[in-house]
Amino acid sequence: MSEKILVVDDEKDLVELISYNLLKEGLAVSKAFDGETALKLVKDEDPDLMILDLMLPGIQGLEICKRIRRDPEHATLPIIMLTAKGTEVDKVLGLEVGADDYVTKPFSVKELLARVRSLLRRSSMEKGTGENTIFEYKDLHINYVSHIVTVKGRQINLSPTEFRLLKLLAQNPGRVYTRDQLLDRVWGDETFVEPRTVDVHIKRLRSQIEEKKARPQYILTIRGFGYKFADME
């Protein structure tokens, strides 16, 4: 079966344009023009990826993203935030609530399709890795197959990008990665994001797994260089 993309925007002409091009790529498409319908379709149809507008009638895009990330059943849904707001603050807000990527209107359809393909490919690769590894360090437990992460027995709902970031760092404890290295390994070659994006995802990840964000015990900052997972000796 074709992977299904849920397109959510109140501009019907834009939804039709995006849908037409996704269908040409051989993907299935569902459409929603408001927040309530979007949440219902996520629950009923379990899409493989969502393209989500920031400004919607009813429930706003940021709130939809928050609700999905709090829902264990759909927390790993890849989300591309589509927004007319192009300021750094808006981009950061979208990433902080759990979006995996963002596209600013007006945008190139070709660029949007490249981002969709990139996210779908990474998601597919993770589902088919065949790994059977449980990671445990202090109160942090990671199941690399089921993507279940717990801290002190409490399940943490991470976005796909957050999980990939945590997985890379946890699988290489003590190794320091620059922002560019993390962009390359977590976001991949087909990426349009900026190094600042790494900092936003690290901040959100820490807010989920660290007991004291000011004194992290898992993901450490190496000033002037980048980030690493704690040494596990």
Which CATH number is 186's domain given?
Answer: 1.10.10.10
What was the pLDDT predicted at 173?
92
pLDDT for 165 equals 94
d(C-alpha 216, C-alpha 186), whole Å: 21
Last residue of a domain, one of 127, 160, 192: 127
Q: How big is the CA angle at 117 (ends 47 and 192), to the nearest 5 degrees?
A: 115
> Of 63, 94, 127, which residue constitutes the final position of a domain?
127
Does 203 map to a domain?
yes
- Is 30:6 a contact under the CB 8 Å cutoff? yes
| pLDDT attached to residue 130 | 46
Q: Residue 132 domain-assigned?
A: no
What is the reported pLDDT for 134?
86
- Please check whether residue 181 is in contact with residue 166, taking contact to mean a CB–CB distance below 8 angstroms: no
Q: For residue 62, is it within any domain?
A: yes
| Residue where a domain terminates, one of 99, 127, 155 | 127
Same domain for 151 and 117: no
111 shares its domain with 177: no
In this structure, the answer to whether residues 52 and 9 fall within a common structural domain is yes
Residues 152, 75, single domain; the answer is no
- Reading the chain (233 residues) residue by residue, the pLDDT tens digits are 589 999 999 999 999 999 999 999 999 999 999 999 999 999 999 999 999 998 898 899 999 999 998 888 888 899 999 887 767 677 777 888 888 888 888 889 999 999 899 888 877 766 555 455 789 999 999 988 778 899 999 999 888 889 999 999 999 999 999 998 998 888 876 556 677 888 999 999 999 999 988 899 999 999 989 999 999 86
- 165 located within any domain: yes
Same domain, 123 and 208: no
Q: Is residue 105 part of a domain?
A: yes
> Residue 57, preceding bond cis, omega within 30 degrees?
no
Q: Are residues 20 and 120 in the same domain?
A: yes
Task: For residue range 134-149, list pLDDT tens digits in order.
Answer: 899 999 999 887 788 9
Residue 155, domain extent: 147-229
CATH code of 51's domain:
3.40.50.2300
Task: Confirm whether 19 is domain-assigned.
Answer: yes
The pLDDT value recorded for residue 86 is 65
Same domain, 123 and 43: yes
Q: Is residue 37 part of a domain?
A: yes
Cβ pair 190, 114 in contact under 8 A: yes
Are residues 31 and 67 both part of a single domain? Answer: yes
Structurally, the chain folds into a number of domains equal to 2
